[in-house]
Amino acid sequence: MIDRAVRVVLGTRGVRSQHVDSGHARHHVYVVEGGGRLPPIVLLHGLSDSATTFAPLLLRLRRHAQRVTIIEAAGHGLSDEARCEYTPAVHMASMTRVLDAVIDEPALVVGNSLGGATAIRYALASPERVRGLVLVSPAAAPIDDAASEMLRRAFELRSPDEAVRFLARICQRRPPAARLVAGKLVAQANRTAVRDLLRTASAEDALTPAELGAINVPTWLLWGRAERLLPPSMLTYLRTHLPAHAVVASPERFGHCPHLDQPGRLARMVLTFAELATTTRVRVAPLAIRKAG
């Protein structure tokens, strides 16, 4: 299995593999101590993804940060399936407990897709633990029923050929190892947690304008010009409702998952933002945070 093979390789590079039990599920976590002065960085993957695809990003960031951590959601990668139906609410509760366990000082939280929405909700609930947010195509905005159905169908992968086409959709350019990982992607897309999330998610799980406006940490939204999975309406919604201090960028040649085919560029952007986040202080009235929660 690719995930286990990557764990062995990362272990030779000093990356620790461990598990954290949230009460809802036993989550797999990678942790590596870094050699830099930048704050700890936590990476959160998207739906039907895993820590494996973030390994190139982790290895690039470790030289500059105090620590880099990747958390795998329940039923993803080397994490166990949840002990109950894995709804968006259970996902958030479970991930919050793991984040609380691994973050011992304010960290820069980088989230892609579902991981971006998770990062925002965690920053709203625990702003004292978050130094800043880098949101890469966050799936955090409501969409209509037709768009929701199209998104669900996109994750219905039954063959390696469908998986390769899906990879071409979420990347600006098809990753060289697309054929190699196609089988893993099909298996991951059909795990219980993924199917649970797709079945139970609704527009009510999206972040509201008030919640987005209450973010009180430095925030950078990266929405690539080659985004082909999430509808443009999501970007419009986020642009409209994120707080004034949030920076919105649309990098060229970035698709939905730039960590897959542009890890070097993404790492440089994360590090640039980390430098800024160490000196930027954003303050929002406490009342706004209470309303969001």
**240-285 pLDDT per residue, tens:** 999 999 999 999 999 999 999 999 999 999 999 999 888 766 543 3
Q: In what order do the strands lie in the sheet with 107-112?
A: 16-21, 26-33, 67-71, 41-44, 107-112, 130-136, 219-222, 247-249
DSSP count for the chain of H helices, then E strands: 13, 8
Q: CB under 8 Å, gap of 24 or more: what pairs does 200-206 form?
A: 200/85, 200/86, 200/87, 200/88, 201/87, 201/88, 201/148, 202/148, 203/142, 203/143, 203/144, 203/148, 205/88, 205/89, 206/117, 206/140, 206/141, 206/142, 206/143
Pseudo-torsion of CA 283, 69, 226, 209, nearest 10°?
-30
Domain boundaries, the chain: 2-292
pLDDT of 224 higher than 60? yes
- The sign of the torsion formed by the CA atoms of 52, 56, 59, 65 equals negative
Asked: is 2-292 a CATH 3.40.50.1820 domain? The reply is yes
Q: Quick one: which of 66, 71, 79 has its CA closest to 33? A: 66
Q: How far, in Å, CA of 114 to CA of 139, rounded?
A: 5
Quickly list H helices, 77-144: 88-102, 114-125
pLDDT tens digits, one per residue of 166-220 = 999 999 987 777 888 899 999 999 999 999 999 999 999 999 999 999 999 999 9
